[in-house]
Amino acid sequence: MRGLTDKQRNMLDFIEKFSDSKGMAPTVYEIADYFRIKTSTVFAHLQSLQKKKFITRTSQARSITLFGKTKQHRHTSFVLAIPLLGRISAGLPLDSSELREGEVYCDSSMFKGEDTARLFALRINGDSMKNLGILDGDYVIVRKSSVAQEGDIVVALAGDETTVKSYYPRGGKIALKPANPKFKTQIYVAEEVKIQGKVIGLQRTFAS
């Protein structure tokens, strides 16, 4: 591909492979995450690829199209866009910025009967829940709720910090239990814990 830098060529290859395997174009955030670069750097490369007529794109999410590529992607009505609120901890609690970082795209059939307006996604940082299949880098899909049942996997605000743990009320206290013996159960006075939601799904991306 004449006229491209190595970084631009690699990004173009990633866009093509992602689009072919997922049936949709990657977002700027997914490209930045894959290459471990800033979104501003991704935007700069995409603008160069546009000027060189290797891609076309609009301001809408997942609008990147390889120039001249006519392959049809899956119908977007089958894809549910869930707001990604940030990266949180599944190890020691980590401050949650509550800023929307982008979107996580899921098969809409996974959440039939759900009020999708109440769903949000969070990215897991840590391995304290690995024995329940929640791994570092996974995206958990959460239903907004201020209540939970014993044993539910919840997103909980304890003090000023947010974490994902299993919920166990104990009288006037709440135990937030990890699923990894390397981590200790966290015990709080009930008034110190605010349930933000219940984990109802998981999205995992495999690196190519």
Select from 98, 117, 96, 116 the least CA-distant residue to 108: 116
Is 53 in the same domain as 123?
A: no
Question: Among the three residues 32, 66, 100, which one is the final residue of a domain in this structure?
Answer: 66
Instruction: Kindly tell me the number of DSSP H helices and DSSP E strands found in the chain.
Output: 3, 11
Q: Which position among 165, 166, 182, 194 bears the catalytic label?
A: 165
Is 84 in the same domain as 172?
A: yes
Q: What total number of domains does the chain contain? A: 2
Is 41 in the same domain as 99?
A: no
CATH number at residue 62: 1.10.10.10
pLDDT at position 203 is 84
How do the pLDDT tens digits run along the chain, 208 residues long? 567 888 888 898 888 888 887 778 888 888 998 898 998 999 999 999 988 888 888 777 788 888 765 444 444 445 677 888 876 656 544 444 445 677 787 777 788 888 888 898 898 989 999 999 999 988 899 999 999 999 999 999 887 788 999 999 998 999 999 999 999 999 999 999 999 899 999 887 654 3
Q: 122-161: string of b/e by CB count within 10 Å (b at 16+)?
A: bbbbbbbbbebebeeebbbbbbeeeebeeebbbbbbbeee
Is 25 in the same domain as 105?
A: no
Is 142 in the same domain as 105?
A: yes
Answer whether residue 166 is part of any domain.
yes
Answer whether residue 36 is part of any domain.
yes
Is 27 in the same domain as 82?
A: no
71 is catalytic: no
165 is catalytic: yes
Is 85 in the same domain as 188?
A: yes
Q: Which position among 19, 89, 128, 166 bears the catalytic label?
A: 128
Answer whether residue 185 is part of any domain.
yes
pLDDT at position 2 is 63
Answer whether residue 72 is part of any domain.
no
| Residues of the domain holding 48 | 6-66
pLDDT at position 73 is 46
Is 53 in the same domain as 93?
A: no
Answer whether residue 16 is part of any domain.
yes
Given a contact cutoff of 8 angstroms between Cβ atoms, the answer to whether 140 and 154 are in contact is: no
